């Protein structure tokens, strides 16, 4: 009974993959077979390493912020909120940022950060914290923080929902016994709750890394990858190679390399998960 569904998914996934692999082995102009030349050309481009560096900085900002904030909120609600209605309200509020399209999030963020009419600069000037407007999106030292804050706002609720669901699986009797023995809040978390959350932490980390590698919409709307190449993440760089410089062979090679890297990461995560459950 599952064969038609799984077969359809297999075809839908496999055909673009084979198309990308085939295109990565052919020249953009003429379509002649060039082997691994596109891969070598992609690896020789210094802009690729700038994009990888920007992606690393972006991931270094958003991943710890989202995981720590989501985990902290999940612990706070789990331990202090007993009302089912309040928990439901928090759940609904946490779902809203996730379901908003990234393009709409980018437009809203631009209304906040843009010079001239940005809400943030207006509020800072009213509060007397700044005298002149801050060009959040055109300064190297603030552009990355601005685009990262949008990601943190939208995806921290996802981390919260995953960790909160994991906390519900912790046996209450284990918590009660530890509290009777005088265990502190940190001891409860590190010795009892964390083992249940560790597989979820690996899952969240994998999914969020995958999202960081393909994030595009709000960065393209806010900065377009600028100023310079400060916010030109790997996805923005790949887009420019394919649709600005029209080098589809090199773009396909980059896409295949990203897919291989994510496949290796997924294999590593799936090998770790059973060990962590034990």
Q: Is residue 70 part of a domain?
A: yes
The domain that holds 70 is classified in CATH as: 1.10.3720.10
Q: Is residue 191 part of a domain?
A: yes
16 pLDDT more than 90: no
Q: Is residue 12 part of a domain?
A: no
Q: Is residue 122 part of a domain?
A: yes
CB 154 within 8 A of CB 97: yes
The C-alpha angle 114, 115, 117, rounded to 5 degrees, equals 80
Q: Is residue 203 part of a domain?
A: yes
SS (H, E, C) the chain: CCHHHHHHHHHHHHHHHHHHHHHHCECCCCCCECCCHHHHHHHHCHHHHHHHHHHHHHHHHHHHHHHHHHHHHHHHHHHHCCCHHHHHHHHHHHHHHHHCCHHHHHHHHHHHHCCCCCHHHHHHHHCCCCCCCCCCCCCHHHHHHHHHHHHHHHHHHHHHHHHHHHHCCCCHHHHHHHHHCCCCHHHHHHHHHHHHHHHHHHHHHHHHHHHHHHCCHHHHHHCCCCCCCCCCCHHHHHHHHHHCCCCHHHHHHHHHHHHHHHHHHHHHHHHHHHHHHC
Q: Is residue 5 part of a domain?
A: no
CB 145 within 8 A of CB 151: no
Question: What does the alpha-carbon distance between residue 38 and residue 73 come to, in Å, rounded to a whole number?
Answer: 46
- Report pLDDT for 272: 67
Question: What does the alpha-carbon distance between residue 18 and residue 141 come to, in Å, rounded to a whole number?
Answer: 41
221 pLDDT more than 90: yes
Q: In this structure, how many other beta carbons lie within 10 angstroms of the beta carbon of residue 22?
A: 12
Better-predicted residue by pLDDT, 164 or 267:
164
188 pLDDT more than 60: yes
**Average pLDDT value for the chain:** 89
For 74-97, give one letter per residue: b (16+ CB within 10 A) or e.
bbebbeeeeeeeeeeebeeebeee
Query: Mean of the pLDDT values across residues 206-218?
Result: 89
277 pLDDT more than 50: no
Query: Mean of the pLDDT values across residues 258-269?
Result: 83
Residue 267 belongs to domain spanning: 33-277
CB 121 within 8 A of CB 139: no
Q: Count up the domains in the chain and report the number.
A: 1
**96-99, long-range: CB < 8 A, 24+ apart:** 96/157, 97/153, 97/154, 97/155, 97/156, 97/157, 98/154, 98/155, 98/157, 98/158
Stretch among 89-93, 162-166, 261-265 having the lowest mean pLDDT:
261-265
Better-predicted residue by pLDDT, 265 or 97:
97
Query: Mean of the pLDDT values across residues 180-192?
Result: 85
- Report pLDDT for 203: 85
Q: Is residue 200 part of a domain?
A: yes
Q: Is residue 260 part of a domain?
A: yes
Going by pLDDT thresholds of 50, 70 and 90, the confidence category of residue 109 is very high
Query: Mean of the pLDDT values across residues 89-115?
Result: 91
What percent of the chain is modeled with pLDDT above 70? Answer: 97
52 pLDDT more than 90: yes
Q: Which residues contact 63 (CB under 8 A, 6 or more apart)?
A: 205, 208, 209, 212
């Amino acid at each position: 009974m599952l064969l038609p569904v799984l077969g359809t998914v297999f075809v839908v996934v496999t055909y673009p993959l084979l198309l990308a692999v085939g295109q990565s082995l052919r020249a953009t102009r003429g379509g002649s077979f060039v082997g691994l030349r596109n891969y070598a050309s992609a690896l020789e481009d210094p802009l690729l390493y700038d994009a990888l560096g920007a992606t690393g900085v972006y991931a270094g900002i958003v991943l710890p912020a989202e995981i720590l904030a989501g985990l902290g909120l999940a612990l706070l609600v789990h331990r202090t909120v007993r009302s089912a209605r309040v928990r439901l309200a928090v759940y609904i509020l946490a779902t809203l940022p996730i379901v908003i399209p990234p393009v709409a999030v980018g437009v809203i963020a631009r209304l906040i950060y843009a010079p001239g009419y940005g809400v943030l600069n207006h509020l800072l000037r009213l509060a007397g914290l700044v005298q002149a407007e801050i060009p959040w999106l055109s300064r190297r030292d603030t552009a990355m923080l601005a685009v990262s804050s949008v990601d943190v706002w939208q995806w921290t609720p996802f981390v919260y929902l995953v960790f909160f669901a994991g906390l519900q699986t912790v046996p209450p009797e284990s918590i009660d016994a530890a509290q009777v023995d005088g265990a502190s809040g940190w001891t409860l978390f590190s010795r009892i709750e964390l083992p249940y959350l560790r597989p979820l932490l690996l899952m969240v980390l994998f999914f969020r890394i995958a999202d960081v590698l393909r994030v595009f919409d709000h960065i393209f709307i806010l900065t377009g990858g600028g100023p310079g190449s400060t916010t030109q993440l790997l996805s923005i760089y790949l887009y420019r190679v394919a649709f600005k410089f029209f080098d589809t062979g090199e773009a396909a090679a980059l896409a295949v390399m990203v897919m291989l890297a994510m496949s290796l990461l997924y294999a590593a995560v799936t090998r770790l998960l059973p060990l962590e459950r034990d």
